[in-house]
Structure 1
Amino acid sequence: MPNTTPVPWAEARETAWAAGYEHRGPATELPFAEAVGSALAAPLVAVSDLPAFPTSAIDGWAVAGPGPWRIGGEVLAGQVPQPMKPGVAVKIATGAQVPEGTEGIIRLEHSEIGDDDLVDGPPAREWREPGEEAAHGEELLPSGAPVTPPVIGLAAAAGHATLPAHGRPAARVVVFGDELLTSGVSREGRVRDSLGPMVPPMLTAAGAATVPSLGPVEDTLDAHVAALRVALAEADLVCTTGGTMVGPVDHLHPALAEIGAEYVINTVAVRPGFPMLLARTPDGKFIAGLPGNPQSAVIAVVTLVAPLLAGLRGLPLPPLRTAHLAEDVPGRGNFTHLALIDRAGRRLGHHGSAMLRGLAGAAGFAVVGPDTEAAAGATVDLATVPGV
């Protein structure tokens, strides 16, 4: 039996992230939609001046020479204008290319048009110069920067169609348990599976490309091994539910041994959720063992899976937020306590490990460190759930 000394919660997060980062695959040029949520695998460089030509910052009149100016046409965005002539005013739209020879632009709201169709008003330099935002070849963002929607916009404006990044790891949930139903209500000693439908959207929110869950898988070692092999054939990460202890129907540990997986983490000093694990197969794929109780399984996603996926995509360890407690939160001895709280900092009811009602309305988990308690008014770390 492998070492079962629980790993401190903060160390577990860092270890899971480091395992993912160390074993992330090679980066490729990805379309924007596939790169978003990853990290740049190389610096983002402007492939042209930004803007590439002088661009009007306002709707107005481009003028040259002394005024007042005779109206002489218009320039819209997307057009290449003729050079300006002295004494002429050309109506220009925001974002349009400024004609060569323009000496100033009069804002529409500051302009006056006389009965003789002459434009008058105070001209100013109301345009963006070529390269004002970035020069051709200039580094815009460093390698490792998260690819967010604004980064996608910047990359497109700078002339890119793809980005060097790590794609979404493929992930699949394998649900263990003869006692689970996939439809209807709990009955006759069997309960409705909540993790099969709940965990995949969390994995998607955490950066995985997720396929439908597999199972429920019957409680035999052969069935567990077969299910793991099927899931690993098409996924970089397999998240199993249940079977993380050593009871009479807990077959995950012997199944991991059967397929040659090695433990990265085996149990974490956190309540709820301590019997979680992370293992790695000989061919570099990962298996995250989530406890069967729903809230414990979610804590395993927060603790191990979200950091692992961040590492696999080249991202930093997901930062914790903070929360201001409105009431006391007890500790859990020498284990870290992850306590459900709402957005007002109040501890939620229905917070048992097997319950989901409190979790459904939670802002996240207040982090209460080992051998401590958190008093009302304290500011504590907040671990949030992917997708919430």
Structure 2
Amino acid sequence: MSWSGAYATARDAAKPLPADVTPVVAATGRVLAAAVRCERPVPAFDNAAMDGYVIAGDGPWTIRGRILAGEPAGGAVLAPGTALEIATGAPVPAGAGAVLPYEDCRVEGGLVIGAAGTRRHIRRTGDALSPGVLIAPAGRTVTATVAAAALQAGAEHVLAYRAPAVTMLVTGDEVITDGAPGPGQVRDVFTGLVAAVTARAGGRFAGSRLLPDDPAALTAALETAGTDVIVVSGSSSSGAADHLHGLLTEANATWLVRGVACRPGHPQALAVLPDGRFVVSLPGNPYAGLVAALTLLEPLLGALAGRPAASLPLMTVAGSTRLMPGGVRIVPIGPDGELSAAGPVGLHAAAAAGMLAVLPDDWTDGSPAATLTVP
């Protein structure tokens, strides 16, 4: 399959997971299934916009007390010719006409002397928002600011799509999870990469398991992984220790992507098990696995999370590299669009560059190309 076809297949393979009502403070990172609207006026009561004296009628004004933020107004009416010392945010009593900031008045013998200007320095109920006003539309990802605005507007709960859960299965007798690798061993680098891509795409990383090159162990892990998506690193080619594709076929999985015309990352794949769980197969080479995670896993998770489909950003790419006839070459580029210096391409180059460019076989120096951002 072409790289663009594989990316589109993953993006379009799933519908958003069911939505549920959740406290807004717990919804950060999830996508709204329904719009959030203001439920109470903002501000909810008349309050002072400045520190100073709240006054009624004409001056000078006799000081009758003090009111601070957090104190109730008490239902009292401020009589003409009187004032209360007031703090910013404190409720303004009925009858008040303005707040005189400290810098615009003076106090002599218990009297406030000054003149109210054109600005009254009182925030009236509903000045910012009235009930029913839109806070965030359906399809919007709940950020910390969206959550704060919803709470301010009285929306304690929101309807949001469930975040897709992901299990990582790292295969290989040579893989270790900690310590310095010995002869013939390598460290697991996939768990951190997949967890980061999952979080960025709006998913929930449920954990990682290290498996030997044993078909029975892999079969058991696939059967017991109770998440929406299972990611398997390694075991994706046709070698003696590569069991995944055969096991998925035996399990009557439906293949959506099985090999992609790209370098690196050709052996990547996407399948659906009969019970609806998705399996994403990543090549065992770390850089190729990163490419596959950005090609298949990230758009799939975005769709499950309810995120609107978006086109990949384009950037003018300059430099030279060896292209892949009949496919795409995926290479690191810097923030200015320059191809990385010639040399071995791996995670180190991707980390230094920060982005990857997807170069078709007819790409030429200075032409635009789709880009992927590394996690």
Q: Do both proteins adopt the same fold according to a TM-score greater than 0.5, normalized to the shorter chain?
A: yes
**Given the alignment of the two structures, is residue 229 of structure 1 paired with residue 220 of structure 2, yes or no?**
no
Deviations 1:271-329 (A, max 9, x none): 22122111111111111111111111111111111111111111123554455656456
AA in 2 matched with 1:271: R
- Contact 1:28/1:166 (<8 A) preserved: yes
Measured in 1, the distance between the counterparts of 2:89 and 2:324 equals 60
Match of 1:245 in 2: 237
Report the more deviating stretch, 45-54 or 282-291: 45-54
SS of 1:268 mapped into structure 2: coil
Structure 1 pair 70/330, CA: closer, same or farther in 2 (3 Å)? farther
Structure 2 residue ranges without an equivalent (≥5): none
SS of 1:211 mapped into structure 2: strand
Structure 1 pair 306/258, CA: closer, same or farther in 2 (3 Å)? same
**Given the alignment of the two structures, is residue 102 of structure 1 paired with residue 96 of structure 2, yes or no?**
yes
Quick one: which of 183, 189, 203 aligns to 1:188?
A: 183
- Contact 1:329/1:373 (<8 A) preserved: no
Match of 1:34 in 2: 26
Deviations 1:6-60 (A, max 9, x none): 2332x3333212223x2x3210012334321111111112222222222332223
Match of 1:143 in 2: 138
SS of 1:89 mapped into structure 2: strand
Measured in 2, the distance between the counterparts of 1:265 and 1:141 equals 36
Structure 1 residue ranges without an equivalent (≥5): 1-5
Match of 2:159 in 1: 164
SS of 1:215 mapped into structure 2: strand
Report the more deviating stretch, 166-175 or 55-64: 55-64
Poorly superposed stretches of 4+, deviation over 6 Å: none
Quick one: which of 33, 47, 56 aligns to 2:39?
A: 47
Measured in 1, the distance between the counterparts of 2:365 and 2:78 equals 70
Measured in 2, the distance between the counterparts of 1:332 and 1:112 equals 79
> Structure 1 residue 237: deviation in Å?
0.8
Report the more deviating stretch, 316-325 or 25-34: 316-325
Report the more deviating stretch, 302-311 or 47-56: 47-56
Match of 1:359 in 2: 350
- RMSD over aligned Cα atoms: 2.5
> Structure 1 residue 226: deviation in Å?
2.0
> Structure 1 residue 102: deviation in Å?
1.6
Structure 1 pair 240/80, CA: closer, same or farther in 2 (3 Å)? same
SS of 1:52 mapped into structure 2: coil
Measured in 2, the distance between the counterparts of 1:350 and 1:95 equals 61
- Contact 1:171/1:236 (<8 A) preserved: yes
Measured in 2, the distance between the counterparts of 1:167 and 1:253 equals 29
Q: Percent same amino acid at aligned positions?
A: 33
Measured in 1, the distance between the counterparts of 2:241 and 2:42 equals 63
Measured in 2, the distance between the counterparts of 1:193 and 1:211 equals 17
After TM superposition, list the pairs within 5 Å mapping 1:286-297 onto structure 2.
286-297=278-289
